Amino acid sequence: MKRFLSLMSLVFLLVLAGINPARATIYVPAGGDTGWQTFSFTFLYDFSGDLTFLVSDYGDTVVSSYLLLDNLSAGPSGNTGFELGDFTGYIPLGVTSVVTSFTSPINPSASYTPTEGSYMALLDSYDGDTGVSTSALGGTDGSLLYLSGMSFASGETFSFDWAFITEDYPPYQDFAAFIIEGSYSLPGGGTLPVYEEYRLAQVALPEPATLVLVGSGLFGLAGFGRRRK
């Protein structure tokens, strides 16, 4: 029985590892959108480095997807919610703008206004080549917003509001991502490189790897259950 329980725990851990909410991706159907979401990340140690927000085409460069951003918990003074009406303090690359509202070109019910103040950022994967390659992340081209030289204290949480809207459809798995890259200063001295890439949203079905992991967990439970009889 004890062995059975420890096996059960292992199965649950494996299943949890596959659906850890912090790493969850929202899978968006053809022409769909996520609604506003909030992402938060808590730093383990004192951190310095860069934050990148990105929307990317996948498999083509001609059908657009969009990433909206607002209400950053840290960033350029007076402009963490883009209320200066521009990208002061940010480095935008590709096709980006600061807007007061956004409606999906193919779905009028996917209509958005800022979660904070009057302005929000709009990144467009664009119906053409943005000139910004996203091949390092498995995409084709896209647009990004970059915050350089950020610092966070140990235990501090960074959060932001985001929404992903697509005009695309499977198998063109356009996606949005958030990347933390820099280094931790360890309490005992020394530094630790940090690279965290979060796939916020993606067009189409869950990746096979996720299905296999959750599926094998469920299969395992069924198998152990039968053996007890």
- Residue 39 Cβ, how far from Ca ion at the closest point, in Å? 16
What's the 3-state SS for 96-132? EEEECCEEECCEEEEEECCCCCCCEEEEECCCCCCCC
Name the residue nearer to Ca ion (CB basis): 33 or 174. Answer: 174
The contact pattern for Ca ion, residues 9-48, with x = CB under 5 A and - = no contact, is: ----------------------------------------
Determine contact, residues 162/39, Cβ cutoff 8 Å.
Answer: yes
Residue type, 168: D
Which residue in 33, 70, 124, 141 binds Ca ion (CB under 5 A)? 70
114 binds Ca ion (CB under 5 A): yes
By rule CB under 5 A, what count of residues binds Ca ion? 12
**Piece in contact with Ca ion (CB under 5 A), picked from 29-37, 51-59, 91-99, 216-224:** 51-59
Residue 135 sits at φ, ψ, to 5 deg, of -60, -30
The strands making up 191-203's β-sheet, listed across from edge to edge, are: 26-28, 191-203, 175-185, 46-56, 142-152, 91-93
Spatial separation of the C-alpha atoms in residues 110 and 94, rounded to whole Å: 23
Neighbouring C-beta atoms of residue 177, cutoff 10 Å: 23
167 binds Ca ion (CB under 5 A): no
Q: By beta-carbon distance, which residue lies closest to Ca ion?
A: 81
Instruction: Give me the least distance between CB of 25 and Ca ion, in Å please.
Output: 17
174 binds Ca ion (CB under 5 A): yes
Stretch near Ca ion under the rule CB under 5 A, chosen from 75-83, 148-156, 157-165, 192-200? 75-83
Residues forming a β-bridge with 69: 121, 162
Among the candidate windows 32-40, 42-50, 166-174, 192-200, which touches Ca ion by CB under 5 A?
166-174
We find the least distance from the C-beta atom of residue 178 to Ca ion, in angstroms, to be 18
In angstroms, the CA 210 to CA 56 distance is 21
- Cα separation of 39 and 45, whole Å? 19
The residues binding Ca ion (CB under 5 A) are 57, 63, 70, 81-82, 114, 116-117, 119, 168, 172, 174
